[in-house]
Structure 1
Amino acid sequence: MIPFKTISTKLFVVVGCVIKYGCIAHCTFEFIGNFTVCIGPSMEPTIQSKNVILTENITPRLRRIRKGDIVIARSPSNPREKICKRVIALPGDRVSWGLFYSDVVPRGYVWLEGDNKNNSTDSRNYGPVPQGLILGRAVCKVWPFQEIGLFANKVIDDPR
């Protein structure tokens, strides 16, 4: 018969390893990068519904987001929901949409729009988005496998 002390020691070591590697995984996904499933048609044709993308979380924390980047952010209208949109304008840029509407993006905010302009709820609906809501920057598409590739930074004309 195996002594209880030996079993409890091995169990303690296994539980310790699970906790340690769980903490490493959590910190990696929270602070370095993550996989995200994009749902909805707002970014078509760049990202189709149910595509999986790899995001990195360092650029938004350093405030290094640029025009043309695709970002994952918390929805300003529903904080439980995440949105995938493209950065169209940065603080200080003037944005015109529709025939008669124009706005200057305030400091600490960005203007986000979906690539599918006819089927996207974005800054045209809820206005500039606080940079603090940006969770990550999309790096590449990883699913479906036949479409794996890096996202090119789409050139955005200066809206001023």
Structure 2
Amino acid sequence: MSSQVRQLLYSLSIGLRIGAAMHLLHTNIFEFSPTGGLSMLPTIRALGDHVFVDKLRHRRGKNIDVGDVVICSKPTSENTRICKRVAGMPGDIVYANAMPRYSATTLDDMPYEAFVSQENPRAGKYIRVPEGHVWLLGDNATASLDSRDYGPVPMALIIGEVPFASFWGPWDFWPSMPRQIGSNVRSSSSSMEEYLRKVDNLFAF
């Protein structure tokens, strides 16, 4: 075997190893993928945003909590992936409101049917999230197809959690600096007694 053939086989071997390592990284550890759609505005842009997906620590719903943004397989289409925010964990009770999915000048212009659709059996009901499932919602409720429509989502469908996003337009050579996509749940130092006192003051006449 000539030295040129050996060099070619060696280069091919190195290429295959790099490819296998990249595939392993992309499939099981970390991913950088484009997103699209209106459902997560303003957190994630409708076009041009790319998200970092942490698969190692959060695959199948591990270490996920209310407020986290996740990527998962769509329950009604296994080949489609969705980006939503966790609004309910197993055992939580959530309200399945039916937000309108069309534009109007003011809320007063919205007919009652826009909020409570008779075609959706979940609309207007309180639902306990079953074990092994989560309740997913889009940040832009008026343009999101989510658990209000297809119900609780099995945690096994969760691919990973989204800690960062970066804008990378079609004319940009490099993506922008990553921005944090954190939980929308914020802790409060107020006690329950203080909270209830504030609520009472709102309704004091």
Q: Does TM, scored on the shorter chain, surpass 0.5?
A: yes
User: 1:60 is matched by which residue type in structure 2?
Assistant: H
Q: Equivalent residues in 2 for 1:43-122 (5 A)?
A: 43-50=40-47, 51-61=49-59, 63-98=62-97, 100-122=124-146
Q: Confirm or deny: 8 A CA contact 1:59 1:65 kept in the other structure.
A: no
Q: Equivalent residues in 2 for 1:122-141 (5 A)?
A: 122-141=146-165
Instruction: Indicate the structure (1 or 2) with the bigger Cα radius of gyration.
Output: 2
1:16-70, CA deviations, whole angstroms, 9 ceiling, x for partnerless residues? Answer: 0001011110111111110121110000000012211111102323711111110
User: 1:105 is matched by which residue type in structure 2?
Assistant: V
User: 2:74 is matched by which residue type in structure 1?
Assistant: S
Tell whether 2:14 aligns with 1:17. yes
Q: Confirm or deny: 8 A CA contact 1:109 1:129 kept in the other structure.
A: yes
Distance (whole Å) between structure 1 residues aligned to residue 176 and residue 149 of structure 2: 34
* Residue 49 to residue 147, structure 1, CA distance change in 2 (3 Å): farther
Deviation, structure 1 residue 114: 0.2
* TM-score normalized with structure 1 length: 0.90
Runs of 5+ consecutive residues of structure 2 not aligned to the other structure = 98-115, 117-123, 169-174, 188-205
Distance (whole Å) between structure 2 residues aligned to residue 12 and residue 146 of structure 1: 39
**Worse overlay, 58-67 or 26-35:** 58-67
Q: Give aligned-pair identity as a percent.
A: 32
Aligned to 2:199: none
Distance (whole Å) between structure 2 residues aligned to residue 156 and residue 92 of structure 1: 21
Q: Give the aligned length.
A: 154
Q: Confirm or deny: 8 A CA contact 2:71 2:159 kept in the other structure.
A: yes
User: 2:40 is matched by which residue type in structure 1?
Assistant: M
Cα RMSD after superposing both structures? 1.8
Distance (whole Å) between structure 2 residues aligned to residue 67 and residue 147 of structure 1: 26
